[in-house]
Amino acid sequence: MFKTLKEDIEVIFEQDPAARSYLEVILTYSGLHAIWAHRIAHAFYKRKFYFIARLISQISRFFTGIEIHPGAKIGRRFFIDHGMGVVIGETCEIGDNVTVYQGVTLGGTGKEKGKRHPTIKDNCLIATGAKVLGSITIGENSKIGAGSVVLKDVPPNSTVVGIPGKVVVRNGVKVKKDLNHTDLPDPIADRLKELEEEIEKLRTEIKELKERKTQNEHSAL
Rounded mean pLDDT, 148-154: 88
Q: What is the per-residue pLDDT for 68? A: 93
Q: Which pTM value belongs to this model?
A: 0.71
Would the pLDDT of 174 be above 60? Answer: no
**What average pLDDT score do residues 2-6 get?**
80
- 145-168 burial, b at 16+ Cβ within 10 Å, e below that, comes to bbbbbbeeebebbbbbbbeebbbb
Whole-Å CA distances, 194 to 164, 167, 187, 188: 21, 18, 10, 10
Lowest mean pLDDT among 45-49, 67-71, 171-175: 171-175
pLDDT higher than 90, residue 220: no
